[in-house]
Structure 1
Amino acid sequence: MDDMSLISSYAEAQSLLARVEERRRLSPIRLPLGIRSRVAERHALARLDNLPLQDEDIRVDGRGAVRTSDFDLSHGRRAIGTPINLETITSDSAGLLDWLGIRPDRGILPMQVWQRPLADMIEAVTAWQRDIAVLSPSPPLLHSAHMAHLWRHHAPVGRGDLVYSLLIGDRWGPGRWDGSAGGLIALGLERSSAPWRRAQGKAMEQIWLSAIITGAQAHLDLEVRLRGYAARASQFINARRRPGRLKEVLALAMAHPRISSGSVAKSLDLSVAGAIKLLSIATDAGLLIERSGQASYRSYAIPVAAPSEAPSRTRADPFEVASFWSDEDDGDLAPIPI
């Protein structure tokens, strides 16, 4: 792997991260884009942890914050989307463990959860911090790869260290841009066929940069697909003589992995019968897909594939900015509590 190839990959990764940050700030569908990007990253981390999530485990509040249910047993779930100071990563071992969600429970012995004693974990993290302090200086995206590699080598926690290493590396690298909640690299690595867990040196750096490129491109592709869906939905709504509150229903569906008649009725202050009618209209038009259940227990989703379900594409963006869906028009796309 020559240096020019590495420099080219680094420039591409940094450029794509800046593009993701710009789309998260200026896209007319930035609210659902941010939510669905965070959901995709949570799914990617959970799959790499061999504890995959279901759509029913995802919770989205009225502010667009993404959380998971109590049935989520994946490691590092509390750290996803939670800020941490870079100095804490390099110098505060207890603070770093707390950010990762590793807290002592006095009612449970370490051997009951196959976890090392907290004092041993702090000592191991401190040893890791000493090792990363003597790493050769390098740009953040490359430095983060070596930090993650050393974390897996030390394995301070004993379980979940693979996910913890990706969370730390993501925060040190892509997390400096407003485009990753902690799982962008995981999103790229799960698409990679390279032996990234055993790679070292220049090969590891190239795989790491390729994962950043793939993860960032996945978010950009998602933005294009969401805008394409929004354009099609706006055409359908504008063609109806009496669209009613169909736009609000579709806005709600864009911002959540799944919706139901109950959640629509609660969010929009409608009757369940009225919500079912609006969902039926959208389903008949192909703007929603019924996923499961019967009658009032049915769940619906928009026909837009998540980043992990769709192949990466590099062709030019075919959609113009859809001002119809901009939340600067009339406030219709403000976060809707459920």
Structure 2
Amino acid sequence: MLVLLPPDCPAPDTAMSPATRTLLISCPDRRGIVAAVSQCVLEAGGNILRSDQHTTDPLGGIFFMRLEFLYANAPADDDGFARCFAPVAERFAMDWRLVRTGEPKRMALFVSRLDHCFVDLLWRRQSGELPVKIPLVVSNHPDLEPVAAQYGLPYHYLAIDKTNQPAREAQMLNLLEGEVDFIVLARYMRVLSPQFVERYAGRIINIHHSFLPAFVGASPYERACERGVKVIGATAHYVTEELDAGPIIEQDVVRVNHRDQVADLKLKGRDIERVVLARAVKWHVEDRVLIYGNRTVVFV
């Protein structure tokens, strides 16, 4: 029997210890970065659990690092670590942030009429696979309100078109303000304005039903069928002002053949869309994604 959780009820606890921190770093590559970071974690009373690094070019590239560490005795706040780390960050010209790993992120879901990605994320959240809170669901259609109601989630139906988009997006931003950390477009079939995207830059994840950069925009399955492709795919990416051109987080494909019609492609594509979006959301929630220009570094 499926047990539905009320909106404020936490999902099953799969998060790491509340004393665990994740440190994310990007900076120009040079000698001594790993040693300096490790020494700072040691002086702050932390024990390194996992460390991943990547450089775009060993001779003058950009260095990326994701480091998990555990406090033996967790402090009330992270001010002490910030004071210790500030000189290191300045010396190496770092962009960095420290995340309390055990605190679930707040995810807003934007949906339209198709339910497969929406329901999949709800199930994964309920099963504990996605340790997130879902404060609200936003939609430009009323169709999926019964699904949201089953999960006890507030559902905001905001019909939107070219004539009222600025007003509707202002309403959306008011609903989101102070309530969410990031947004997932789970087959939300509207293009957000540049102003809206800028407000949540690097924090809006979209699932596009093609293997980008092929078949950008509307009706990709129809165009894939017309082209006679032998594989179709799905792409999860961060949203930018340019349509379907933001930094790619994850992609996957499935084989098709000459017998497949558009309906067959859509049916096969749903499974890929679900899986690709779920992976991207999970990696974002776990702070495994670092954006680099229009690319990403994903530590998995």
**Is the TM value for this pair above 0.5?**
no
TM, length-normalised to structure 2: 0.28
More strand by share: 2
TM, length-normalised to structure 1: 0.25
Q: Which has the higher contact order (CA 8 A, sep 6+)?
A: 1
More helix by share: 1
